[in-house]
């Protein structure tokens, strides 16, 4: 497998795995995303089609590099969010809520869970989900850039 093929796969699998984990934690374990959690997902949404474009166009490095740049952006947002969770700095927003449609919109708004951006919902070894997104996204993006920079 060439370095470009490895970079393509990494640029596709990192955001797909992180989004998959985010949705499993949301729908499987009830960890509703706050506003900054959503901010971290948006670059991954962009990275997947860019990585797929890298597969579609033979020898194309630019879409793969753009996918890695999007993954890196998500990682940096994750770093900022983790800092807000740990109280290192103040965030731009404090909370968000997930509203489901129903017969009575006001009742749905009032019953919606509120998820604060400055509170850790879940952690492992003292690292929050935003922290893991930072670590995995940044490492994945840097690995893609390293693979793209290597000669065949």
pLDDT score at 124: 82
Asked if residue 148 lies in contact with residue 63, where contact means CB atoms within 8 angstroms, the answer is: no
> 75-109 burial, b for 16+ CB within 10 Å, e for fewer?
bbbbbbbbbbbbeeeebeeeebeeeeeeeeeeeee
Residues 100-132: pLDDT tens digits?
666 777 776 676 666 777 777 877 898 888 899
Residues 51-63: pLDDT tens digits?
999 999 988 899 9
Pairing label, strands 127-128, 123-124: antiparallel
Lowest average pLDDT, out of 22-26, 73-77, 134-138, 148-152, goes to 148-152
Cβ of 118: how many Cβ atoms within 10 Å?
Answer: 17
pLDDT mean across residues, the chain: 87
Mean pLDDT of 22-42: 90
pLDDT score at 115: 74
- pLDDT exceeds cutoff 60 at 25: yes
- pLDDT exceeds cutoff 80 at 139: yes
Domain ranges of the chain: 3-86+116-149
State the Cα–Cα distance between residues 147 and 7, nearest whole angstrom: 6
State the Cα–Cα distance between residues 133 and 120, nearest whole angstrom: 13
pLDDT score at 99: 57
Residues in the chain: 152
Global pTM value:
0.81
Distances (CA, A) of 141 to 4, 106, 109, 114, 134: 14, 42, 38, 32, 10
């Amino acid at each position: 497998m060439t370095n470009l093929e490895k970079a393509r796969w990494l640029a596709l699998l990192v955001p797909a795995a992180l989004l998959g984990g985010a949705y499993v934690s949301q729908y499987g374990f009830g960890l509703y995303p706050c506003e900054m959690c959503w901010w971290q997902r948006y670059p991954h949404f962009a990275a997947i089609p860019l990585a797929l474009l890298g597969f579609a166009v033979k020898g194309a490095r630019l879409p793969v590099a753009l996918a890695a740049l999007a993954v890196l952006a998500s990682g940096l947002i994750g770093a900022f969010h983790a800092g807000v969770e740990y109280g290192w700095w103040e965030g731009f927003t404090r909370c968000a809520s997930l509203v489901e449609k129903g017969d009575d919109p006001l009742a749905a708004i009032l019953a919606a869970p509120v998820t604060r951006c400055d509170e850790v919902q879940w952690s492992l070894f003292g690292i929050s989900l935003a922290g893991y997104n930072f670590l995995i996204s940044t490492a994945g993006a840097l690995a893609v850039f390293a693979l793209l920079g290597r000669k065949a």
